[in-house]
Amino acid sequence: MKAGYVNFQHVDKGEILAHDNHGPVASTRNAHIFMPLYQDQGCDGFFLVQEIKDFWFQLSSRTRKWKLDKTINILPGIHKAKFARDAFLIDKNRQWNKVISLLHLLGYRKVHYSGRLLRMSRRPYDRRSPKIKKVQDNFSNYLRLLQE
């Protein structure tokens, strides 16, 4: 990891953030850098994070409340996985990148690639959307802890 970065510092797309065995590691987008608290232990790592507008939280909340995931398999190239309650199989030969965004709104976060299929699943407790106020409070508390 290059020295001098602090949590939530803005980074530009293409900016070199670190070096690994394969060479330089650059930011894939304009974002903020988030570094877990174990940096001091020699396990350098980071995440690129972006602010999520309230609109997307509201939309996600409504899509889960309306249980739109029950109808998503009517789209071409999407099938409900038979082996898991909360999983879909997506044919990568279709416009799967748009489907991924839609499934993210519905709480599907885990992505597994397997040949021409992509499997997206969610944890059982992701069926309900988080309370926006609770997420904002947790994030504010976390930022306060970082400043202490």
Domain assignment of residue 64, given as a range:
54-126
Do residues 46 and 58 share a domain? no
| Domain identity same for 67 and 14 | no
> Does any domain span residue 6?
yes
Q: What is the mean pLDDT of residues 130-137?
A: 75
The answer to whether residues 63 and 89 touch, using CB atoms and an 8 Å cutoff, is no
**Whether the predicted pLDDT of 41 surpasses 60:** no
41 lies in the same domain as 94: no
pLDDT, tens digit (0-9, with 9 covering 90-100), for 57-100: 888 888 878 888 788 878 888 888 887 778 888 887 776 677 78
Tally the domains of the chain: 2
Distance separating alpha carbons of residues 34 and 50, to the nearest angstrom: 10
Residue 140 domain-assigned? no
Instruction: Note whether residue 1 is domain-resident.
Output: yes
- pLDDT higher for 28 or 65? 28
Same domain, 47 and 58: no
If asked whether residues 32 and 74 sit together in one domain, one would say: no
Q: In sequence order, what E strands does 50-144 have?
A: 78-80, 87-91, 110-114, 117-121
- Mean of all residue pLDDT scores within the chain: 81
Give 13's pLDDT tier (boundaries 50, 70, 90): very high
Query: By the 8 A CB rule, do 31 and 7 touch?
Result: no
Write phi, then psi, for 69 (nearest 5 degrees). Answer: -65, -20
Across the beta sheet with 31-34, the strand order is: 10-11, 31-34, 47-49
Query: 78 and 113 share a domain?
Result: yes
Q: How many Cβ atoms sit within 10 Å of the Cβ of residue 44?
A: 14
Residue whose C-alpha is closest to residue 67's, from 129, 135, 144 = 129
Helix (H) or strand (E) holding 102: helix 96-105
Average pLDDT on 98-117 reads: 82
Which residues on adjacent β-strands are paired with residue 47?
A: 34
Q: Is the entire prediction scored with pTM above 0.85?
A: no
